[in-house]
């Protein structure tokens, strides 16, 4: 189906109002509901699942240190929108199809509120997963200003629940951020980038099986999903009318598997000011931004002196990164359009300050433990690709068990052809470097034979991160301080089709004594 680009204005999700708020704490209730929503002018309305019945969900804004409580209520129908593969762990036939659990991605959250994949619940909490602990989650927001996001994390069907629409922004604000005088609302806009395919009737299309299904299982998990259209904030190829001034955009790749390599056709720079987890030390001007699923960047785009111009945000990341086909310049190569056609309402006094934050590199001398964790491709019993972490499955005993307060270096040894965005819950980390190694030699001897020098993290990733791209044939090293909570969390690939099918592992932060 061919959809015309730039027919719909960019929607901006509303900011959610708390149920009540006192000096001590804030309480929100969010219902997950099925509704119909227009995702493009020429498409019939699409059935989606949304937090508060909208896709993307409302933006949540909190202050650093604010104690916030959430009730995430599942008010969804009993039937899922998409085909469920019951051979996938945790999604067996006897388990209810429609179950949800919310994870605040990038949040420093206690285990009971972190949205553990087996802590799912059905409507009215009638049936609950084995790890379910409480209805009211707490987020204490002991983190500096940054863009987190909330999304579903239910075991075995996360890819389907997020595809249905269950994702939204969660912004932490602080004094420091306000003192930096960035463009603020309405000149600060979150952009959720995703890809989707549609049936003629406007319904979302999620494949029932891979293109070449050798397993005979239907429905069958696919190894990655790539949609035919690009959506921003839930609209296919939208446009945004802007004034000739600076804007701040909070970009989030919320796609199931697609990477985005972003640039502006005006050849302008993005002034990147932040990463997944707060500000960079200083802003950097870049022509291209690479974003894997779940990664965020905080950027300023300056439309000053561009009156009357049209600026297209483009994507050049191969579909199935990095080895897949190039994007189609007419479809998946296009993200959205900026139209500099509004008159300047007030003088733009915002700045891009030369210095943003003190980050400081974590010294390797403080490291208690080095772990080598292979990202490998195997075959399942039906002959389908099976991507594993450390050659272990979700149900295998916990092997990563850092002590609270300790710092570790995790080496992600990628022996297969995909670039996997690895996300570790609870913590933020710094990327040390990436280094190519001899994959075949490693596979036969388990020894590492480097084939080139280490390359330090790209300037665009030299801040705190919670998701790291691990390219094929390289060892990606991150340094991680584990605190402040003890308990059971997860780490996983954030390509949702991988995460759902075993590329996810529990880990435990142990007490010191």
Residues that bind Cu ion (CB under 5 A): 420, 493, 495, 498
What is the largest distance, in Å, between two alpha-carbon atoms of the chain? 65
When the beta carbons of 32 and 439 are compared against Cu ion, the nearer one is 439
Indicate the DSSP class of residue 16: P
When the beta carbons of 108 and 492 are compared against Cu ion, the nearer one is 492
Smallest gap from Cβ 257 to Cu ion, in A, equals: 8
Smallest gap from Cβ 181 to Cu ion, in A, equals: 39
SS3 434: strand
**Cα–Cα distance measured from residue 438 to residue 126, given in angstroms and rounded to the nearest whole number:** 51
When the beta carbons of 490 and 493 are compared against Cu ion, the nearer one is 493
Q: Are 98 and 473 in contact (CB under 8 A)?
A: no
SS3 159: helix
Smallest gap from Cβ 448 to Cu ion, in A, equals: 21
Smallest gap from Cβ 474 to Cu ion, in A, equals: 14
**Alpha carbon of residue 314 to chain centroid:** 19
Smallest gap from Cβ 400 to Cu ion, in A, equals: 17
Smallest gap from Cβ 104 to Cu ion, in A, equals: 21
Which tokens sit at 21?
A: 């708020």
Task: State the CB neighbour count (10 A cutoff) for residue 241.
Answer: 12
Smallest gap from Cβ 420 to Cu ion, in A, equals: 3
In the complex, residue closest to Cu ion by CB:
493
Q: Is the peptide bond before 165 cis (omega within 30 degrees of 0)?
A: no
When the beta carbons of 426 and 495 are compared against Cu ion, the nearer one is 495
When the beta carbons of 103 and 498 are compared against Cu ion, the nearer one is 498
**Cα–Cα distance measured from residue 5 to residue 339, given in angstroms and rounded to the nearest whole number:** 13
When the beta carbons of 136 and 323 are compared against Cu ion, the nearer one is 323
Smallest gap from Cβ 484 to Cu ion, in A, equals: 28
What CA dihedral angle connects 40, 42, 45 and 51, to 10 degrees?
0
Buried b (16+ CB within 10 A) or exposed e, 199-215: eeebbbbbbebbeebeb
**Cα–Cα distance measured from residue 306 to residue 290, given in angstroms and rounded to the nearest whole number:** 25
Residue 490's contacts (CB-CB under 8 Å, 6 or more residues apart) are 116, 117, 425, 504, 505, 506, 507
Which residue has tokens 């690709």?
385
First-to-last C-alpha distance (Å) of the chain: 60
**Cα–Cα distance measured from residue 255 to residue 258, given in angstroms and rounded to the nearest whole number:** 6
When the beta carbons of 375 and 509 are compared against Cu ion, the nearer one is 375
When the beta carbons of 420 and 477 are compared against Cu ion, the nearer one is 420
**Alpha carbon of residue 61 to chain centroid:** 18
When the beta carbons of 356 and 503 are compared against Cu ion, the nearer one is 503
Q: Are 273 and 238 in contact (CB under 8 A)?
A: no
SS3 445: helix
Paired residues of 250 in beta bridges: 190, 298
When the beta carbons of 239 and 412 are compared against Cu ion, the nearer one is 412
Residue 29's contacts (CB-CB under 8 Å, 6 or more residues apart) are 19, 70, 71, 73
When the beta carbons of 85 and 418 are compared against Cu ion, the nearer one is 418
Smallest gap from Cβ 498 to Cu ion, in A, equals: 3
When the beta carbons of 174 and 390 are compared against Cu ion, the nearer one is 390
Q: How many residues does the chain have?
A: 513
Paired residues of 424 in beta bridges: 491
The DSSP result for 110-157, as a single string, is: -GGGS--TT--B-GGGSSB-TT---SEEEE---S-SEEEEEEE--TTT
HSE-up of residue 273 (Cα within 13 Å, Cβ side): 24
Q: Are 151 and 162 in contact (CB under 8 A)?
A: yes
When the beta carbons of 171 and 496 are compared against Cu ion, the nearer one is 496
Smallest gap from Cβ 495 to Cu ion, in A, equals: 4
């Amino acid at each position: 189906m061919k959809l015309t680009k730039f027919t719909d204005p960019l929607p901006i999700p509303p900011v959610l109002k708390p149920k009540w708020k006192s000096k001590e704490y804030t309480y929100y209730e969010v219902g997950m509901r099925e509704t119909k929503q227009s995702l493009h002018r020429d498409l019939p309305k699409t059935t989606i699942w949304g937090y508060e019945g909208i896709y993307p969900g409302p933006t949540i804004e909190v202050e650093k240190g604010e104690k916030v409580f959430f009730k995430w209520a599942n008010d969804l129908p009993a039937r899922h929108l998409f085909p469920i593969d019951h051979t996938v762990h945790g999604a067996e036939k006897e388990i209810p199809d429609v179950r949800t659990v919310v994870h605040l991605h990038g949040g420093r959250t206690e285990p009971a509120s972190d949205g553990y994949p087996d802590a799912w619940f059905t409507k009215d909490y009638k049936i609950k997963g084995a790890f379910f602990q409480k209805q009211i989650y707490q987020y204490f927001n002991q983190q500096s200003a940054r863009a987190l996001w909330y999304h579903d994390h239910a075991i075995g069907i996360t890819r389907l629940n997020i595809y249905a629409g269950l994702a939204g922004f969660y912004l932490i604000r602080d004094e420091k951020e306000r003192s930096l005088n960035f463009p603020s609302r309405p000149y600060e806009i979150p952009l959720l980038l995703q890809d989707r395919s549609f049936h003629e009737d406007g319904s979302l299309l999620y494949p029932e099986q891979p293109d070449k299904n050798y397993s005979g299982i239907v429905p069958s998990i696919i190894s990655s999903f790539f949609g035919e259209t690009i959506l921003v904030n839930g609209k296919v190829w939208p446009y945004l009318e802007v004034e000739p001034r600076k804007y701040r955009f909070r970009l989030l790749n919320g796609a199931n598997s697609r990477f985005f390599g972003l640039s502006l056709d005006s050849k302008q720079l993005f002034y990147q000011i932040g990463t997944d987890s707060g500000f960079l030390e200083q802003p950097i001007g870049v022509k291209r931004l690479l974003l894997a699923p779940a990664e965020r960047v905080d950027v300023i785009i300056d439309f000053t002196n561009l009156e009357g111009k049209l600026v297209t945000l483009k994507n050049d990341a191969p579909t199935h990164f990095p080895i897949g086909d190039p994007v189609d310049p007419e479809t998946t190569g296009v993200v959205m359009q900026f139209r500099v056609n509004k008159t300047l309402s007030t003088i733009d006094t915002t700045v891009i300050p030369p210095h943003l934050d003190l980050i400081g590199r974590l010294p390797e001398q403080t490291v208690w433990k080095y772990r080598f964790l292979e990202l490998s491709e195997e075959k399942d019993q039906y002959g389908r690709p099976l991507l594993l972490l450390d050659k272990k499955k979700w149900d295998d005993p916990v092997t990563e068990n850092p002590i609270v307060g300790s710092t570790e270096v995790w080496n992600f040894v990628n022996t297969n052809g995909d670039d996997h965005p690895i996300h570790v819950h609870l913590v933020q980390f710094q990327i040390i470097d990436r280094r190519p190694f001899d994959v075949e030699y490693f596979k036969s001897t388990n020894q590492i034979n480097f084939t080139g020098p280490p390359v330090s993290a790209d300037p665009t990733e030299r801040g705190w991160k919670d998701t790291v791209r691990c390219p094929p044939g390289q060892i990606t090293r991150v340094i991680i301080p584990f605190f402040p909570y003890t308990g059971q969390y997860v780490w996983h690939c954030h390509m949702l089709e991988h995460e759902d099918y075993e590329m996810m592992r529990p880990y435990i932060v142990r007490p010191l004594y």
